[in-house]
Amino acid sequence: MDYRWKEFAQLLLAGEDEGAFRLISEDGRDSLAIYMEIVTNAMQYVGYLWQNNEISVADEHLATSVCDFVLSRYSFSFRNQQKKKIGKIMFLCLEKEQHMLGTKMAAALCEEKNWDVRLLGANLPLEYAISSAESWEPDVIGLSVALHYRLPVLKRYVKELEALEFSPKVIIGGRLASTYDLYNYCSKETELFKDLYAMDAWLDEYRQEVKVNGAS
């Protein structure tokens, strides 16, 4: 069971979307475990192979696009159809940040947990993040950072998004949130999550608070 991620990575690298989809959909664990124990480990392994020149850039791109497709197919069946949502949450990657598979999983998990979700994807300049947030007014805005040289702009995203009139909660995840201390790039209000388990626990607390306050 523990090496399923390696098998999954090999299927991604072989372009076997059907086999990769079958592997995760027949695994039996919940989606949070699938995202963390299989998909994340597999993509990190792909990165390791690429860094060590054991696979080419083209192999890595193929694995990424198959993973993207398989995630869409897998998460589709978990979409929550309830009308009354817990809240609105929007995810985006900072400008010039292409690593978006993490936000895709975070967004899928929120959909499954009955949030109204907008996934704005990779490379979103701050001005567009602001105008989108102003028109939709999400309760929570999730930012993703993977590259350390994108850190200087993170501070600006947090500051300007938290200053919006409707006071959205800003949460941060991504590879750097698990490997660096991002405290200096945030305010006291910002939530930092080192992985999806941490976000999942926070979502449960948030849901409890919404229930207690009678907003849902």
Is 162 a binding residue for ligand B12 by CB under 6 A? The answer is: no
Rounded Cα–Cα distance for residues 30 and 24 (Å)? 10
Q: Is residue 200 close enough to count as binding ligand B12 by CB under 6 A?
A: no
Cβ–Cβ under 8 Å, residues 50 and 57: yes
Distance CA 90, CA 157 (A): 14
Half-sphere exposure for 170 (CA within 13 Å, toward CB): 26
Of the candidates 201, 195, 169, the residue with the CA atom closest to the CA atom of residue 87: 169
Burial category of 155 from C-beta neighbours within 10 Å (exposed 0-12, middle 13-18, buried 19 and up)? middle
Ramachandran region, residue 167 (left: φ > 0; alpha: ψ -120 to 50; beta: rest): left
**Least distance to ligand B12, CB of residue 24, Å:** 13
Rule CB under 6 A: is residue 97 a binding residue for ligand B12?
yes
Which pair of structure tokens corresponds to residue 81? 């159809």
The least distance separating ligand B12 from the CB of residue 18, rounded to whole angstroms, comes to 21
Q: Which is nearer to ligand B12, 35 or 85 (CB)?
A: 35
Q: Which is nearer to ligand B12, 102 or 138 (CB)?
A: 102
Among 13, 110, 117, 196, binds ligand B12 (CB under 6 A): 196
Site string for ligand B12, 7-46 (x = CB under 6 A): ----------------------------xx--xx--xx-x
Q: Between 196-212 and 101-112, two packed helices, what is the crossing angle to 10 degrees?
A: 30
Q: Shortest distance, CB of residue 214 to ligand B12, whole angstroms? A: 26
Q: In angstroms, what is the minimal distance from the CB of 131 to ligand B12?
A: 20
Q: Does 117 bind ligand B12 (CB under 6 A)?
A: no
- Is 173 a residue that touches ligand B12 (CB under 6 A)? yes
The residue whose two tokens read 């817990």 is 86
Q: Which residues bind ligand B12 (CB under 6 A)?
A: 35-36, 39-40, 43-44, 46-47, 50-51, 60-61, 64, 96-103, 105-106, 142-144, 146-148, 171-175, 178, 193, 195-196, 199
